[in-house]
């Protein structure tokens, strides 16, 4: 995340505080997830949740007025992912049920507002955000499956590759729209 911050800083003349705060809390999440045990996982999860809230705020500032019908229709893929993943993991979450459900809800909201923004703007720039957020959801889903359902050695590599790609795409989205925020 530090490298991504410097990449962002080197390629912009304006600083998007919401994005930078999201990167900062993502960095904290990375650091906490290096630790072992439930406490470090909760701290990492909380840090990423806060990062997503900053990203949601950033996206919401770009949205024009929408109808409930529009919001519900674009939320369908994220609701389905949420339900399928929760169905798979629920019996394995133990005491982590509530934190994982809250986190999954928040990242689903990020997916929804990102897709809603793309539906409104319909350009490749906004598609970068949708793809970045979707890859972030894939990364987090694999992480959850790895932690709570089926641990596989290669999952760690897939998680990191998808996470870095997701953040890079979101960063490039912000660089392309920095004059709008």
Domain boundaries, given as residue ranges, for the chain: 2-177
Burial class (CB in 10 A: 0-12, 13-18, 19+), 158: middle
pLDDT digits (tens, 9 = 90+) for 116-168: 999 999 999 999 999 999 999 999 999 999 999 998 899 999 999 999 999 99
DSSP labels for 50-114?
A: HHHHHHHHHHHTTPPP--HHHHHHHHHHHHHHHHHHHHHHGGG-GGGHHHHHHHHHHHHHHHHHH
pLDDT digits (tens, 9 = 90+) for 73-123: 999 999 999 999 999 999 999 999 999 999 999 999 999 999 999 999 999
What is the residue-averaged pLDDT of the chain? 93
Separation between Cα atoms, residue 47 and residue 31, nearest integer Å: 10
pLDDT band per the 50, 70, 90 thresholds, residue 180: low
Please list, in sequence order, all residues whose beta carbon lies within 8 angstroms of the beta carbon of residue 110, skipping any fewer than 6 positions away.
Answer: 52, 55, 56, 59, 133, 136
Tokens of 123: 């350009």
pLDDT digits (tens, 9 = 90+) for 27-52: 999 999 999 888 999 999 999 999 99
Burial class (CB in 10 A: 0-12, 13-18, 19+), 20: middle
Separation between Cα atoms, residue 138 and residue 167, nearest integer Å: 12
Tokens of 32: 């906490």
Nearest CA to 59 among 105, 125, 5? 125
């Amino acid at each position: 995340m530090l490298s991504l911050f410097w990449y962002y800083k080197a390629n912009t003349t304006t600083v998007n505080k919401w994005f930078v705060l999201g990167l900062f809390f993502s960095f904290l999440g990375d650091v906490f997830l290096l630790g072992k045990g439930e406490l470090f996982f909760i701290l990492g999860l909380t840090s990423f949740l806060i990062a997503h809230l900053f990203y949601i705020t950033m996206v919401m500032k770009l949205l024009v007025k929408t109808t409930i019908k529009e919001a519900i229709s674009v939320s369908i893929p994220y609701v389905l992912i949420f339900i399928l993943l929760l169905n798979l993991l629920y019996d394995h979450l133990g005491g982590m049920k509530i934190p994982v459900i809250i986190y999954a809800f928040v990242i689903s909201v990020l997916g929804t507002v990102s897709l809603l923004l793309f539906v409104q703007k319909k350009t490749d720039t906004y598609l970068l955000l949708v793809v970045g957020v979707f890859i972030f959801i894939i990364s987090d889903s694999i992480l959850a499956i790895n932690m709570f359902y089926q641990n596989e050695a290669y999952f760690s590599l897939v998680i990191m590759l998808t996470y870095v790609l997701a953040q890079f795409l979101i960063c490039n989205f912000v660089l392309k729209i920095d004059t709008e925020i």
